[in-house]
A and B are shown apart, each in its own frame.
Chain A
């Protein structure tokens, strides 16, 4: 009877080796989570104005494990909102719609905005791109107060805000193929 009990117990107990391996795995994952070594996410959604709020909220949720300050959170949300709004208003504008969309309804699915976020230690890297009409003159577009749509009450401050609220901004664009906005922000700037 005792022999049976002993074999039962050993059969249902993890070996020392398994136990140590499990501990190592937990420790490794725990360390990664604790120090936020690396985390990544991708999003793509329709270029609709209603999704601007979705996009900035999603990115804010993604960085929340780092316990960002309210100011950092607001900075990131504003920058994301500006970049996505640009794609919705300018990249896929009425001109683009008439040219690409109407004659071929199958192109419908192509009017999308893409976001790729990466957390590398304390730094957030964001890439936001579209496959819209592109920007012919990037320097002019990035000038504060310059807007192509003043009649729609656009302030022309989009890129200026991205620049002011993030640490780094890069804009790459090819007319007819789309625009990519790359942004970087260190989320531990003001902490000791």
Chain B
């Protein structure tokens, strides 16, 4: 469970090396458990270890975004490489979340 950490009211999620549909169900579910249980204001997705992401990753972020903005929270991504940033751009997610350089 080291992949999920709560710092202040930020939920930090360390994304796995490969994000696909197979892995996404677990991440979404665990993140939602945290949002329900703890006082989460904002979410940070950390892509430091991620080498591959398909549209399932977009689904994870979009789903959490819908939940957290309802309470005025924000979604951030950190450590995105050029390929992941491109995927976020194509899906248009960069317009609604903060991509930190």
Contact = CB atoms under 8 A, between A and B. Distances in A.
Contacts of B62: 153, 155
Interface stretch (A45-53, A103-111, A119-127, A177-185): A45-53
A135 interface: no
Interface of B is mostly: helix
A54 to B, nearest CB: 10
Interface in A120-150: none
A189 to B, nearest CB: 16
Residues of A in contact with B, size category: 20 to 34
B83 A155 contact: no
B87 A78 contact: yes
Residues of B in contact with A, size category: 20 to 34
Nearest to A77: B52
B61 to A, nearest CB: 8
Nearest to B58: A155
Interface of B: 18, 20-22, 24-25, 28, 52-56, 58-60, 62-63, 83, 87, 90-91
